[in-house]
């Protein structure tokens, strides 16, 4: 199966008009949770760019929907792909390959950016060091896993004037995935059908 922009949610990366309340949290982790708890009912467009050695190696765009604990990540270009993340299950549909991949995940899997979007309370565990910098207009939260089992070595989440603005993931090969969010809306009444994949008859189903 050819590589697709999956690094945000499984490959994978976190879209929304989000105004965070005044922060009264005492730690960087708690401050980030205050922001991320506002992401319920989220819809957004995104532009994702992957860099290696300072060069662009892949670029894609699409849309995202989040209704915890479910996530839909839809790539429109250059290749159509839909990823749906649900508890203990990830489904990936590649229209051009007529292929659906279903992956089972463990109940305690927390080492992906997608899992942190859906379960920000995991930030309070000892698995991450969280720091913050910037000002009231642009606040950046940096997450560094304390173990080597995470899929990334650094994750940065930026909120601009209270709105989720970008997500940057650095993997263990120093490859950088940058996701910028546009047309952000929150508190949307999202249809459950958004998180159900309906694929054409004859689609090749791969489990693993």
Q: Does residue 196 fall inside a structural domain?
A: no
Q: Is the pLDDT of residue 67 over 70?
A: yes
CATH number at residue 69: 2.50.20.10
Tell me: pLDDT of 103 over 80: yes
φ/ψ of residue 4, rounded to 5: -125, 170
C-alpha 58/C-alpha 19 separation (Å) is 31
Count of domains in the chain? 1
pLDDT tens, 15-45?
322 323 333 446 888 888 888 888 889 999 9
Task: Tell me the average pLDDT across 84-104.
Answer: 92
- Look at residue 98 and tell me if it is in a domain: yes
Find the domain containing 44 and state its range: 28-188
* Domain-embedded: residue 206: no
Tens digit of each residue's pLDDT (9 = 90 or more) over 132-175: 998 878 899 998 888 776 778 899 999 988 788 999 999 888 99
At 88 the pLDDT is 84
Q: Identify the pLDDT of residue 61.
A: 96
Supply the pTM of this predicted model: 0.79
Has residue 22 been placed in a domain?
no
- Residue 14: pLDDT band by 50, 70, 90 thresholds? very low
Note the pLDDT tens digit of each residue in 117-133: 777 776 667 678 889 99
202: left (phi over 0), alpha (psi -120 to 50) or beta: left
Edge-to-edge order in the sheet of strand 42-52: 128-134, 138-145, 154-160, 163-170, 176-185, 42-52, 55-67, 70-77, 81-86, 89-94, 99-104, 204-207
Residue 13 lies in a domain: no
Q: What percent of the chain has pLDDT over 70?
A: 80
Closest CA to 34 of 132, 153, 144: 132
Q: 173-194: per-residue pLDDT in tens?
A: 899 999 999 999 988 999 999 9
Inside any domain, residue 36: yes
Looking at per-residue confidence, does 14 or 56 come out higher? 56
Establish if 56 belongs to a structural domain. Answer: yes
pLDDT attached to residue 69 = 86
| pLDDT for position 60 | 95
pLDDT band at 92; cut points 50, 70, 90 = very high
Determine, yes or no, domain membership for 23: no
């Amino acid at each position: 199966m050819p590589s697709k922009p999956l690094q945000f949610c499984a490959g994978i990366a976190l879209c929304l008009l989000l105004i965070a309340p005044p922060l009264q949290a005492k730690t960087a982790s708690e401050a980030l949770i205050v922001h991320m708890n506002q992401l319920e009912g989220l819809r957004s467009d995104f532009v994702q760019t992957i860099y290696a050695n300072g060069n662009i190696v892949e670029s894609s765009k699409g849309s995202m929907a989040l209704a915890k604990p479910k996530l839909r990540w839809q790539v429109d270009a250059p290749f159509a792909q839909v990823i749906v993340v649900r508890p203990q299950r990830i489904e990936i549909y590649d229209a051009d390959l007529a292929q659906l991949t279903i992956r089972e995940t463990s109940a305690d899997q927390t080492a992906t950016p997608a899992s942190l979007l859906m379960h920000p309370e995991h930030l309070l565990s000892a698995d991450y060091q969280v720091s913050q910098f910037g000002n009231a207009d642009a606040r950046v939260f940096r997450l560094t896993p304390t173990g080597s089992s995470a899929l990334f070595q650094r994750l940065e989440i930026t909120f601009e004037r209270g709105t989720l603005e970008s997500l940057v993931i650095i993997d263990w090969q120093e490859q950088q995935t940058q996701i910028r969010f546009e047309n952000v809306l929150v508190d949307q009444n999202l249809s459950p059908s958004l998180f159900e994949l309906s694929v054409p008859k004859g689609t090749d189903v791969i489990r693993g």
